[in-house]
């Protein structure tokens, strides 16, 4: 057991040492100021100029293929109740500011925007729930969140949310997998360094759902969590699981004050 742990630590050290630290972004650039809050900055800051331009222009941003589909879905009647999203919310603009407070406690559960969407579908529309990574879910999540673009993340971690926040914090700091790594080893201790061809960021979630050039499609934050777990040879949890939902609350709290960017573009 001790030998396995030593080997894992050695592998981890090699992984994190691949690639030298490169020149960081110019944090004095006025164009980047909105994406910086104190010592933290979003992934937009470490994007190359081409990727930033792609995100900034809604006509170039490939995520809007999903958003446009969601705009059509918004008015589509579905389910036994014969309702659509518009039946309750009218235009998507009515949800301005709503996504900045998620995840939040609802009843006895911590829920994300995606949970809320499926709650509306199953309870109010009497329609089938969408799969977490389906095009319909990703597009609608992005549509809802983009109503708050530019507004600061403002999740609450007091009251009943405090326990979930502490669970997310524990997850973030816990070593796991064959590489014996925790989230902090990449996003706290090594941000600004290279892992293979990827520049490590602060791991901020304010742009999700995001279009990753690596994925060539829109993807959720929980997909990113699963990818990170797989990279360190750890058993991933399901999208929407209590573990990932608590982790989302913790990283959203880390991102407090940063602007909502969804749908963002990342490498």
200 and 255 in a single domain? The answer is yes
54 and 175 in a single domain? The answer is yes
pLDDT band at 192 (very low <50, low <70, confident <90, very high): confident
pLDDT, tens digit, for every residue of 20-48? 455 567 788 889 999 999 999 999 999 99
Confirm whether 120 is a catalytic residue: no
| Phi/psi at 193 (5° precision) | -100, 165
The 3-state DSSP composition of the chain as helix, strand, coil percent (nearest 5) reads 45, 10, 45
| pLDDT over 60 (residue 6) | no
Give CA–CA dist 104/90, Å, rounded.
Answer: 23
Averaged over 14-25, what is the pLDDT?
Answer: 53
157 and 235 in a single domain? The answer is yes
215 and 98 in a single domain? The answer is no
| pLDDT over 50 (residue 3) | no
- The last residue of one of the domains, among 146, 171, 204, is 146
Strands (E), the chain: 36-37, 40-41, 104-106, 109-111, 194-195, 198-199, 210-212, 217-219, 264-266
Task: Spot the catalytic one: 85, 88, 186, 228.
Answer: 228
46 and 71 in a single domain? The answer is no
> Which residue segment(s) compose the domain that 96 sits in?
64-146
CATH label of the domain that carries residue 139: 1.10.760.10
**The pLDDT of residue 54:** 97
User: What's the structural domain count of the chain?
Assistant: 2
**The pLDDT of residue 194:** 85
168 and 248 in a single domain? The answer is yes
| pLDDT over 60 (residue 12) | no
pLDDT band at 179 (very low <50, low <70, confident <90, very high): very high
116 and 202 in a single domain? The answer is no
Averaged over 92-100, what is the pLDDT?
Answer: 98
Here the tokens at position 197 are 């061809």
- The last residue of one of the domains, among 146, 180, 211, is 146
114 and 12 in a single domain? The answer is no
92 and 204 in a single domain? The answer is no
139 and 196 in a single domain? The answer is no
Are the C-beta atoms of 241 and 225 separated by less than 8 Å?
Answer: no
50 and 81 in a single domain? The answer is no
Average pLDDT, the chain: 92
| pLDDT over 50 (residue 2) | no
pLDDT, tens digit, for every residue of 100-151? 999 999 999 999 999 999 999 999 999 999 999 999 999 999 999 999 999 9
93 and 167 in a single domain? The answer is no
CA 23 to each of CA 16, 27, 191: distance values in angstroms, whole numbers, following the listed order = 17, 11, 12
- The last residue of one of the domains, among 111, 127, 146, is 146
């Amino acid at each position: 057991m001790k030998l396995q742990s030593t080997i894992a630590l050695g592998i981890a050290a090699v992984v994190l040492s691949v690639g030298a630290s490169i020149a960081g972004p110019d944090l004095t650039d006025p164009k980047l100021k909105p994406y910086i809050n104190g010592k933290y900055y979003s992934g937009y800051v470490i994007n190359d100029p081409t990727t930033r331009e792609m995100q900034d222009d809604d006509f170039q941003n490939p995520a809007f293929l999903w958003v446009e589909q969601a705009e059509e879905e918004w008015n589509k009647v579905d389910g036994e109740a014969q309702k659509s999203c518009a039946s309750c919310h009218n235009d998507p603009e009515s949800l301005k500011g709503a996504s900045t407070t998620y995840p939040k406690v609802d009843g006895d559960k911590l829920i994300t925007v995606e949970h809320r969407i499926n709650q509306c579908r199953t309870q109010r529309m009497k329609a089938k729930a969408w799969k977490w990574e389906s095009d319909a879910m990703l597009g609608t999540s992005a549509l809802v969140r983009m109503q708050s673009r530019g507004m600061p993340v403002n999740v609450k971690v007091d009251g009943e949310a405090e326990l979930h926040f502490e669970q997310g914090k524990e997850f973030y700091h816990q070593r796991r997998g064959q590489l014996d790594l925790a989230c902090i080893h990449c996003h706290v201790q090594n941000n600004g360094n290279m892992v293979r061809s990827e520049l490590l960021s602060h791991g901020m979630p304010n742009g999700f759902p995001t279009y990753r050039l690596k994925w060539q499609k829109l993807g959720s934050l929980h997909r990113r969590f699963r990818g990170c777990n797989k990279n360190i040879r750890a058993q991933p949890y399901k999208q929407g699981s209590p573990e990932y939902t608590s982790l989302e609350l913790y990283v959203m709290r880390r991102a407090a004050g940063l602007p909502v960017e969804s749908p963002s573009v990342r490498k």
